[in-house]
C-alpha cells in the first residue's frame, strides 16, 4: 500500500474548549507542515469569526483540514468562505450538520433542548465531572488533569449559529470513534453522511483518539493523505 503523504499541509481544528497540545503526538509523527488553529477568545464571537480566525492561521495555499468534534462546524464554514483553499477534509468524530443547521440544532431531541437550556444559564464550560467521565473517557489520569485544567469555554454563537451554504471538498473522509460517550455512533453516522466520504475508518476509542491512541490515528491520517 502506498502510504506516502501528500504534500498538502494540514490545518487541525479541535473540539470545543480543547488546547492545541492534544495534537502534539500526531503532528510529531506526520512529515508534513501542520498548524493547530487557536479559536477566538471573545465571548460574542460568531461562527463566521471562528472560521475567519482559523483560516488566517492556515498554511499558505491549499491545505487539508482535520476536524475534531465541533471543529467540523468550523471546517464547514471555512469551505463556505474559501472552498478553493480546502484540498481535503477529514472528520474525526466531527459534527457536520446540514447547511442552515447549527451544532445544537443537529443534536437529537430532547438533547438539543436540554443542552441549549443548560448552556444558556450555565455557559459553555461543562462541569468537571462531565469533562472527566465523558470527554476524557479512556484517557490516563495525567491527560485528564491537563484537559480539565486547560479547558476554555467557547462563545455561545459557535453552538447556535447556522452553517452557511458550502462547497465541501471531493476528497473527504470520516473517522468514527466507536467507544465515544460524547458523540454516539448514530450521530457520527449522520454527520459522516453529510460529507459523503469515500474514506471511512473506525477507531475503538473515546472522544479523544489523538490522546488515547495517537499511533492508530496517525496511521489513518497517513492513509487519507495517500489516497487510500
Tens digits of residue pLDDT in 129-138: 999 999 999 9
Task: State the Cα angle at 16 between 94 and 170, rounded to 5°.
Answer: 30
Residue 92 covered by a domain = yes
Residue 4 covered by a domain = no
User: How far is residue 50 from each of residues 58, 111, 132, 205, measured CA to CA in Å?
Assistant: 12, 24, 26, 27
Q: What is the 3-state secondary structure of 106-136? A: CCCCCHHHHHHHHHHHHCCCCCHHHHHHHHC
The strand ranges marked E within 134-223 are 172-177, 199-203
User: How far is residue 71 from each of residues 6, 97, 108, 145, 156, measured CA to CA in Å?
Assistant: 22, 11, 19, 22, 14
Residue 95 covered by a domain = yes
Please answer whether residues 80 and 26 qualify as being in contact, where contact means their C-beta atoms are separated by less than 8 angstroms.
no
Tens digits of residue pLDDT in 141-161: 999 999 999 999 999 999 999
Tens digits of residue pLDDT in 56-87: 999 999 999 999 999 999 999 999 999 999 99
Query: What pLDDT, on a 0 to 100 scale, did the predictor assign at position 45?
Result: 97
Q: How confident is the model at residue 202 (pLDDT cuts 50, 70, 90)?
A: very high
CA 22 to chain CA centroid, Å, is 12
Residue 147 covered by a domain = yes
Please answer whether residues 77 and 48 qualify as being in contact, where contact means their C-beta atoms are separated by less than 8 angstroms.
yes
Residue 3 covered by a domain = no
Cα–Cα dist 220/195, whole Å: 17
Residues contacting residue 25 through CB under 8 Å, at least 6 positions apart: 210, 211, 214, 218
Greater model confidence, 8 or 189 = 189
Q: How confident is the model at residue 228 (pLDDT cuts 50, 70, 90)?
A: low
Mean pLDDT across 14-38: 96
Greater model confidence, 111 or 191 = 191
| CATH number for position 107 | 3.40.50.1820
Query: What pLDDT, on a 0 to 100 scale, did the predictor assign at position 43?
Result: 87
Residue 2 covered by a domain = no
Residue 160 covered by a domain = yes
Residue 100: domain span:
10-225
Q: Please count the structural domains in the chain.
A: 1
Phi and psi, residue 177, nearest 5°: -95, 115
The strand ranges marked E within the chain are 10-13, 34-36, 63-68, 86-92, 172-177, 199-203
Query: What pLDDT, on a 0 to 100 scale, did the predictor assign at position 87?
Result: 96
Give the percent of the chain with pLDDT over 90: 84
Residue 43 covered by a domain = yes
R_g of the chain computed on alpha carbons: 16
Amino acid at each position: 500500500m502506498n502510504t506516502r503523504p501528500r504534500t498538502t499541509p494540514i490545518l487541525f481544528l479541535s473540539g470545543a474548549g480543547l488546547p492545541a497540545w492534544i495534537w502534539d503526538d500526531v503532528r510529531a509523527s506526520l512529515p508534513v507542515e501542520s498548524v493547530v488553529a487557536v479559536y477566538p477568545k471573545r465571548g460574542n464571537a460568531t461562527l463566521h469569526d471562528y472560521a475567519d480566525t482559523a483560516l488566517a492561521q492556515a498554511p499558505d495555499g491549499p491545505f487539508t483540514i482535520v476536524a475534531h468534534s465541533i471543529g467540523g462546524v468550523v471546517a464547514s464554514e471555512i469551505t463556505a468562505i474559501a472552498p478553493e483553499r480546502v484540498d481535503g477534509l477529514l472528520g474525526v468524530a466531527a459534527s457536520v450538520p446540514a447547511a442552515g443547521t447549527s451544532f445544537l440544532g443537529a443534536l437529537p431531541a430532547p438533547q438539543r433542548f436540554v443542552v441549549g437550556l443548560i448552556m444558556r444559564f450555565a455557559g459553555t464550560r461543562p462541569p468537571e465531572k462531565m469533562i472527566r467521565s465523558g470527554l476524557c473517557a479512556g484517557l490516563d489520569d495525567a491527560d485528564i488533569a491537563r484537559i480539565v485544567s486547560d479547558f476554555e469555554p467557547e462563545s455561545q454563537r459557535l453552538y447556535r449559529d447556522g452553517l452557511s451554504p458550502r462547497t465541501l471538498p471531493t476528497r473527504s473522509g470520516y473517522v468514527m470513534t466507536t467507544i465515544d460517550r460524547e458523540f454516539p455512533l448514530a450521530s457520527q453516522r449522520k454527520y459522516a453522511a453529510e460529507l459523503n466520504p469515500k474514506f471511512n475508518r473506525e477507531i475503538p476509542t473515546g472522544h479523544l483518539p489523538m490522546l488515547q491512541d495517537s499511533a492508530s490515528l496517525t496511521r489513518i491520517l497517513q492513509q487519507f493523505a495517500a489516497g487510500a
